[in-house]
Copies of this chain bind each other. A is one copy, B any other.
Amino acid sequence: MEPISHNVFNFSAGPAGLPRAVLQKAQAELLDWNDLGTSVMEISHRSKPFIKVADEAEQDLRDLLNIPSNYKVLFCQGGARAQFSAVPLNLLGTKTKATYIDAGYWAESAIEEAEKYCTPVVHKAKIDVDGKVAVQPASEWVIDADSAYVHFCPNETIDGIEINELPQTDLPIVADMSSTILSRQIDVSKYGVIYAGAQKNIGPAGICIAIVRDDLLDLASDVLPTFLNYKVLAEKDSMYNTPPTFAWYLSGLVFKWLKEQGGVAAIEKINRDKAAILYNYIDASDFYHNNIHMNNRSLMNVPFQLSKPELDAKFLELADERGLRALKGHRAVGGMRASVYNAMPVEGVQALVDFMKEFETQYA
């Protein structure tokens, strides 16, 4: 069968598409990496060639995000859900409370897990503005002063909500950036901990990045499993446990690819262009709708609904035939969702809009 790869655009919310050039390089050297005659996944994580991979990946990420030297960069296992436990178990210290800003599904999942270890003080920030879903301004978020930290999720992948402000507090700010990391510029120095599952903007599923300010490394609970302990991971260069070496290597290739694109500032511009193409078309159409207030629309995950939900299946079928993959919305909200992470080129978004126009013309 003829390969159709070059015509395919993958809108999966995660595990998501990776840059084609990265996969091509991985494919070329899958059986003979670095002239060793073996795959990179077949060598010891403690061997010199792999340590070079690991160190370069960390340095490239530091360069991309301009991470200050008083932050540790950890390559963890278990994904963001593991961090839902790891954050309270690493950061509570002698405190018993933490503030959680709630604007959607993933913030709520973090809260549910935190309840095992502390009393989460929850501030519900999702509101209705002119019939649209929005998030309160950060100035209105109520933060409990006795909290060990303030947790929020700047991008709610399922709802398509993005928060462009930080909690206004001197407490450590903890952010689940699984869907936004590397998609736009951030000031790492304003955070206590940033964590992100890789499978959206970094690499394959099975690795998770944690960026931890070094004054927060001495607060771990006695019941924290050691492989989730930030201090141990920092001291052992994320090799306390055998790390997921192939996922680490692929993440490193993605970081190098992103540098070649011009870094985070350059990709942010492209991401804003991509989002504008899609949102502008949806807003101009009477057939497609997005119910998120424009202040809080996600650059990465664009949910939209058809005016005739009975056409959802037809839309997905025809889109798939066109090579426009994985557009079905999350079961919690229905409709469609286009995830347009860094690896999605502008051409993919344009192809989607072209298809949406045709579909609207034929079926509206």
The chain A residues found within 8 Å of chain B, CB to CB, are 1, 3-5, 7-8, 10, 12-18, 20, 23-24, 26-27, 30-32, 35-39, 41-45, 47, 77-79, 81-82, 84-86, 89, 113, 116-117, 197, 199, 204-207, 222-223, 225-228, 240-247, 323, 325-326
In Å, the complex CA distance between A37 and B321 comes to 12
| Chain copies in complex | 2
Known: A79-B77, A244-B204, A246-B246. A227 touches B44 (CB 8 A): no
Contact (Cβ within 8 A) B24 A27: no
Which residues of the partner chain B approach A227 to less than 8 Å between Cβ atoms? 78-79, 81-82, 85
- Could you list some 24 contacts between A and B, CB below 8 A? A3-B31, A8-B38, A10-B43, A13-B44, A18-B39, A18-B41, A23-B30, A36-B325, A38-B325, A41-B204, A43-B326, A78-B82, A81-B240, A81-B242, A82-B227, A85-B226, A113-B225, A113-B226, A205-B243, A205-B246, A206-B207, A206-B243, A206-B247, A244-B247
Contact (Cβ within 8 A) A37 B223: no
Closest 9 CB pairs of A and B: A206-B244, A8-B37, A85-B225, A27-B30, A81-B241, A41-B204, A4-B37, A5-B37, A206-B206
Contact (Cβ within 8 A) A3 B246: no
Give A112 Cβ to nearest chain B Cβ, in Å. 8
Known: A37-B323, A205-B245, A222-B116. A42 touches B26 (CB 8 A): no
Which residues of the partner chain B approach A228 to less than 8 Å between Cβ atoms? 225
CB < 8 Å: which of B14, B242, B326 contacts A242? B14
Which residues of the partner chain B approach A222 to less than 8 Å between Cβ atoms? 116
CB < 8 Å: which of B7, B37, B78, B246 contacts A37? B7
Contact (Cβ within 8 A) B204 A241: no
CB < 8 Å: which of B4, B23, B82, B246 contacts A206? B246
Give A251 Cβ to nearest chain B Cβ, in Å. 12
In Å, the complex CA distance between A204 and B30 comes to 13
Which residues of the partner chain B approach A36 to less than 8 Å between Cβ atoms? 8, 325
In Å, the complex CA distance between A243 and B26 comes to 21
Give A345 Cβ to nearest chain B Cβ, in Å. 14
